[in-house]
Amino acid sequence: MMLLETRNLGRSFGGLLALEELNLKIPECGLHGLIGPNGAGKTTVFNLLSGFLQPTGGEILFNGASITGLPPEQITLLGIARTFQNIRLFEELTVLDNVLVGCQGRSRAAWWQAALRCPGYLREEREFVARSQALLVEVGLAAVAHEKAGQLPYGHQRRLEITRALATEPRLLLLDEPAAGLNPQETLELLDFLKAIHQEHRLTILLIEHNLRLVMNLCQHLTVLNHGLTIASGPPNEVRRHPEVIRAYLGK
């Protein structure tokens, strides 16, 4: 069974069809790339999958069940996490606290238990701190756990945003242009990092990325969008030879 499937998924804004009839099929543990020129509708796909936007057509199935129309918090709990094209961190909070925010999405404590600092809440909070620290060790950010997130170098901010997404314990991770703004060395490190977390967390990854070397190195399957339409879909080596892809995207 597919972990993620979209059936004729679409979204329009007023008269603009940002996305039309998208049919994705991503198996468990798959590495799937979503590429296409600016304005193709890629981020719109992520906004739909994560519940930030409602579709104007079609369906989204996650692990075989419809999640169409569910709110973002519920989609997070089901196991879909995302990062943003423009990094969104709590810049004034520490690195550790940013990861804790990810963990707290899974809290079983009610707000009043937190307010009264009940024993169950305190125990859970200690577990979250321990888990966040372990994650920071895993991703190589333990040494900067107590620094403000906004003060990290750019590459580490990207890594932290992905780590916060991991803290929600996703099965599907949506990455929106994670290599944007990174230098070639940082991009290579990102590639290794993504391979490592894919293995370690048995993740399924859907990646939007302009850096084709990264995409070709990581992904088993690509979907190419242009003006909201799917113009090609298949293994990277087939897709890169597709005439319409070359014309719309690679050739520019």
Q: Are strands 16-22 and 204-208 parallel, antiparallel or unpaired?
A: unpaired
Using alpha carbons, list the distances in angstroms from residue 60 to 29, 102, 174, 180: 18, 24, 14, 27
Query: Of the candidates 3, 18, 214, 215, which one interacts with ligand ADP according to CB under 6 A?
Result: 18
Tokens of 102: 């990810």
Query: Of the candidates 8, 13, 137, 153, which one interacts with ligand ADP according to CB under 6 A?
Result: 13
Is residue 26 a contact partner of residue 4, using CB atoms and an 8 Å limit? yes
Name every residue whose Cβ is closer than 8 Å to that of residue 105 and which is 6 or more positions away in sequence: 73, 76, 77, 167, 168
215 binds ligand ADP (CB under 6 A): no
40 binds ligand ADP (CB under 6 A): yes
Q: Which does 39 bind (CB under 5 to 8 A by kind): Mg ion, ligand ADP, none?
A: ligand ADP
Looking at residue 211, what DSSP letter applies? -
41 binds ligand ADP (CB under 6 A): yes
Q: Are strands 172-176 and 80-82 parallel, antiparallel or unpaired?
A: parallel
Residue 177 to residue 188: CA distance in whole angstroms = 14
Nearest residue (CB) to ligand ADP, 13 versus 90: 13
Find the binding residues for Mg ion in span 77-116 (CB under 5 A). 85
Query: Of the candidates 6, 43, 204, 211, which one interacts with ligand ADP according to CB under 6 A?
Result: 43
39 binds ligand ADP (CB under 6 A): yes
Name every residue whose Cβ is closer than 8 Å to that of residue 106 and which is 6 or more positions away in sequence: 77, 168, 169
226 binds Mg ion (CB under 5 A): no
47 binds Mg ion (CB under 5 A): no
43 binds Mg ion (CB under 5 A): yes
10 binds ligand ADP (CB under 6 A): no
Is residue 152 a contact partner of residue 143, using CB atoms and an 8 Å limit? no
Count of residues interacting with ligand ADP (CB under 6 A): 11
50 binds Mg ion (CB under 5 A): no
- Residues in the site for ligand ADP, rule: CB under 6 A? 13, 16, 18, 36, 38-44
Rule CB under 5 A: which residues touch Mg ion?
42-43, 85
